[in-house]
Homo-oligomer: A and B are copies of this chain.
Amino acid sequence: MTQYPTRSKEVADPVLIVGSMAFDDLELPSVNAKDVVGGAATYAAYAASLFSPVRIVAVVGDDFPSSVLEDLTARDVDVAGVERAKGKTFRWAGRYASNLASRETLDTQLNVFADFRPKLPASFADSPFVLLGNIQPQLQLDVLSQIKAPRFVAADTMNFWISGERKKLGEVLSKIDTLMINDEELRELADIHNIRRAAAAVLNLGPKRLIVKRGEYGAMLFDDEGVFFTPAYPLEDEVDPTGAGDSFAGALLGYLAASGTLDGPCLRRGLRLASAVASFCVEGVGTAKLKAVHRADVMMRLEALRSITKTGG
């Protein structure tokens, strides 16, 4: 059993995460939960901080609990870039189908997020690993312009920006290493249904690598070494998929920052590890399970996940 990453968190590079911090009202098959602390940056930060120091750039309102920021700080997450603005925190309300396979948005209140203009503390400007969460492409560019020579930049995006901000998004794509989106977003971005041809088309737009998140079906990596696929860990109790994709992204960046290399095998191991971390996220409401997980738990699930694709014998 390979224990990876091989570097401890103490010597890992820091990961800068930009994105939303939010309250979610979740109608889940098993429970209705209100005021659940969520947001892409929150999930990604909890996941990344399993492996590396983290820096968050986000905005919260005056209603956001300080205890969450303190909890993150205790995990080596630097919250100096979390702006506390006058007003309410971003809020999302959604209802999941009974099989958790789909969800509908019931309400979105941008609140302080509407005027979010990410400003990086000077101490963040040297961040070698950067995760640009799913925010307006212009804001992703603004963040990038504040960072000196990052080593690895990954970005997420969504249908809203693909249809409404395609040109700006194209500029983002020309400046990042890795795009991480789900399969439907990939299809929309490339305007091609076939995943493999859509991936080729998107790689032509700039990024060196494409990671396609496929929910319960796993995740794929397309790079110059070919295609890699990791299944999702087959859970017996799926509770809440909210934030699983963000946990996946955060875990991958955290792992890469801890591993010291960025070659093909490293990326592939990172995808599998990220899949293991994301599976924990789904087992609890909000960040409940994710933040209780230890590195040893992840390694055990990683081993199980690896064995699932091994023929053995």
Listed in ascending order, the chain A residues whose CB lies under 8 Å from chain B are: 98-100, 193-197, 214, 217-218, 220, 226-231, 234-238, 263-266, 268-269, 272, 307-313
Contact = CB atoms under 8 A, between A and B. Distances in A.
State the number of copies, please: 2
B194 A307 contact: no
B194 A313 contact: no
B217 A227 contact: no
A5 to B, nearest CB: 13
Contact of A313 (B217, B234, B264): B264
A99 B193 contact: yes
Contact of A265 (B214, B237, B272, B311): B311
Nearest 9 CB-CB pairings of A with B? A265-B313, A268-B311, A309-B309, A99-B193, A217-B217, A265-B312, A229-B231, A269-B311, A196-B234
Nearest to A269: B311
Contacts of A236: 194, 196-197
Central interface residue in A230, A231, A236, A264, by most chain B CB within 10 Å: A231
B266 A313 contact: yes
A272 B309 CA distance: 9
7 contacts: A194-B235, A194-B236, A194-B238, A228-B308, A265-B313, A269-B311, A269-B313
A313 B230 CA distance: 16
Given A214-B217, A217-B214, A263 B313 contact: yes
A170 to B, nearest CB: 24
Given A214-B217, A217-B214, A217-B217, A230 B194 contact: no
Contacts of A229: 231, 234, 308-309
